[in-house]
Structures are given as structure tokens and as C-alpha cells.
Amino acid sequence: MTLNSFNFNTTPGIRYGRDQAKNACKEIFEKLGSRILFITDKGLMSLGLTETTINQLSKMGEIKIFDDVEADPSQKTLLKAIEIGKKFNATGVIGFGGGSSMDVAKLTALILGSNEDLQQAWGVANAKGPRLPLALVPTTAGTGSEVTPVSIITVGEEEKKGVSSHLILPDLAILDPDLTLGLPAATTAATGIDAMVHAIEAYSSSNKNNNIISKMLSIEALKLLGSSIEKAVTDGSNVEARGNMLIGSMLAGKAFANSPVAAVHALAYPIGGTFHISHGLSNSLVLPYVLKFNSIDVKAASCYAELAPYVFPQIDTSKGAQSICAEFINKLENLSKNLGLPQKLREVDIPKNACEKMAKDAMKQTRLLVNNPREVTEKDALNIYQTAW
């Protein structure tokens, strides 16, 4: 096998296990210092999921809680977190929650540590750093944000912008499956499909940094996710399934952190930005249609065919790649349906006449579209949205 040159960066410290939200606090404190900015959302605070960690850390130093993070966090929210962190003289930052809280925490730590201009940091490898010490604690199994160098923020009314830089990889990722036990079935399903999309797109990415480590991680992620997602959705108290989803999401995060995602995400962003549909569900809604579009490309079809038996072991792999690929896409569609997720854009109240604007907006996601196995034009994006409607 001829291997291309590649770079691979990841979170240096990962702690997994039940009660890690409590047991890892001493290490968190040692890494982050005595004045910790704790970034989360009001929902998690009201559920009491943050209580153990906050109580433990409060015994060791000062904690300032910022719990104003919303879904698809706005630049206004980010700037507010930064301002509070400055006034508090934070020595370190924790992001505790879903991808939104972790994304806000990453950029808050960056700006507090470097005082650089946020506007100059948008894009790939533009952040200068350094950042403050950073720990991330996911409460969903989907984004993999605890091991990715990416933060996505909603700028203005609808547009999403991202910072992609190895500088915002955290020092520590704390994975505690007990924190995910209270996730509603619909959220479990949508975030689980999101994690699967990360693995699929990382494996088939046309990015020049697509590499053997990311491919291996994608496969292992899909084994765990494919075998556990239905159990996690139907029996939310199944800790083994929850743990498999959390690790699967993390592995998929490591994969796409180094072999970036593509058109599924590019077309999902306008759905979330304009209609405030969750990121996981936005991905799920366009996934089969983007894969069908990509499967015309022989290399992409081959990638999907290679992944198929890891997600669906019952697939007959004696057929040709195109046949296996078609069955893979069909089974992914059926999986989404069986999990109770909406199947069409109209089911989440998106009008058909919105497809044109979403297609225009998707074209702004050049950072993602360049990684797609097949070139996507605005006309292609429109056709995909109309088919998904």
C-alpha cells in the first residue's frame, strides 16, 4: 500500500467511564487552574447533570458559570462568554454539554488566551493562539466535538462560520456515559445519525489529508454506532449501548477532525441556520440524497460499499460495489425511518420554495464542499433539496 503524506492531530487526554464527570475533576483542576469558566446551557443545569462536576470543582477553586448557550450558538452568545471570562480572569475553560456548549468553549478559550481578533480567526488554520487550558465534557453522542479542531458559530441571522485549527483541540475530553442516559429518544437518534455521517464522510473524503488512521477510526466508529443506535434509542437506560454510542461518536470525531466532512454537512447547515432544525436531524434529512448523488462517482461508491458491512453485517458483499452501495444507502434510509426521525424536509415545515435559497447558501460552505467526492454545483444542491423535500 502506498501511503500519502498526512497530518494527524487529536485531543491528548481522553478519559472514559462511568463517574468520570466526578472522578476526573482533580485532573481538570490541575490542567485548568484555580479560576474555571464553566460553559453550559440552562437545560443541563435544570436537569442537574452539571451538579456533580461543579460541586467537585468548587471545592478546589473558583467556578464561574455561563449557561446562556443556545442551540446553534450565536456570535452574540460567544462574545458574551468571552466578556464574562475576561472579567472573571479565567485560568481555564470547560465546555459541558452538546456540540453548542463545546464550540462556544473552544473559541472562548482561544480568544481569552490570545486576545486575537475573532474575525481574523474564521476559516482553516487562521487562528494564532495560544488558548487557555480547555476541557470538554460531552452529554450527547453525536458531534464528537471533544476531539475535533472545529467550532461552528451562527453569524448574523442565518450564516454559520467555522474556525478550524488544531489550536482549539482541548487538553482533556471527559466521556461519561451516565451523562447521556437522560437524552430523549429523538435526540439520541438524530445525534447518533450525525456521528455516523461523520464517519462516512471522513472515510470517503476527497481531502488530500484523508489518511489510514482516519479510515480505521471511521470503521471502528461505525461498528459501535451501527450495532448500538437502535438499542440506545429504544432503551435509553442501556448503559452499554450509551457507552458504545459515546465512544463511536468520539472515534468518528477523531476521523473527520483529520479527514474533513463534505457535502452532507454543507447542505445540512442552511437547514439548521435558516429553520433552526438540529444539526443531527439536518444531516439525517439530506444524507441519503447526497450519498445517492455521490455514488455516481466510482470511487465514492466503492468507499460506501467498503463501509456497508460494518454498519449492516447482513449485507451480501458478494455483489458488485454499486449494488452494495445502493443497498447501504437504502438501509441507512430505513434505519432513520425505524428510529422515528422525519424523512422529508416538508415534515419539519420547510416550504418547497426555500430550496433555492438553501442551495445558494450551501454554496458558501466551500470549506466543506471541496472535500466532497463529486463536485456539487448550485443546481445539484437544488436538485438534492427538491428530492429531499
pLDDT in tens, 312-371: 999 999 999 999 999 999 999 999 999 999 999 999 999 999 999 999 999 999 989 999
Would you give the distance in Å from CA 227 to the centre of its chain? 20
How far apart are alpha carbons 385 and 388 in whole angstroms?
5
The confidence score (pLDDT) of residue 233 equals 98
Give the global pTM: 0.96
pLDDT at 273 over 90: no
What average pLDDT does the segment 145-155 reach? 95
- For residue 136 the three cell numbers come to 470538554
pLDDT tens per residue across span 152-205: 999 987 788 899 999 999 999 999 999 999 899 999 999 999 999 999 999 999
pLDDT at 2 over 90: no
Given the C-alpha cell 474575525, which residue does it identify?
119
Determine the angle formed by the axes of helices 25-32 and 51-58, rounding to 10 degrees.
Answer: 60
Question: Would you list the domain boundaries of the chain?
Answer: 13-179, 184-388
pLDDT at 253 over 70: yes
Given the C-alpha cell 460552505, which residue does it identify?
365
**134-138, strands of its sheet edge to edge:** 13-16, 172-175, 134-138, 92-97, 35-39, 62-66
What average pLDDT does the segment 26-34 reach? 97
- For residue 201 the three cell numbers come to 464522510
Q: Is 48 left (phi over 0), alpha (psi -120 to 50) or beta?
A: left
- For residue 310 the three cell numbers come to 460494518
**Angle subtended at Cα 283 by Cα 207 and Cα 302, rounded to the nearest 5 degrees:** 45
- For residue 273 the three cell numbers come to 441556520
The confidence score (pLDDT) of residue 1 equals 66
For residue 9, name the pLDDT band (cuts at 50, 70, 90).
Answer: very high
The confidence score (pLDDT) of residue 158 equals 75
- The fold of the 184-388 domain, in CATH, is Dehydroquinate synthase-like, alpha domain (1.20.1090)
| CATH number for the domain running over 13-179 | 3.40.50.1970
Given the C-alpha cell 445502493, which residue does it identify?
326
- The percent of residues in the chain predicted with pLDDT above 90, rounded, is 94
Q: Cα dihedral sign for 55, 56, 60, 61?
A: negative
Complete DSSP assignment for 327-354: HHHHHHHHHHHHTT---SGGGGT--GGG
How far apart are alpha carbons 185 and 356 in whole angstroms?
32
DSSP-derived 3-state class of residue 110? helix
Find out whether the peptide bond into 130 is cis, omega within 30 degrees of 0.
yes
The confidence score (pLDDT) of residue 7 equals 95
How far apart are alpha carbons 128 and 321 in whole angstroms?
44
Task: Answer yes or no: are the C-beta atoms of 152 and 162 closer than 8 Å.
Answer: yes
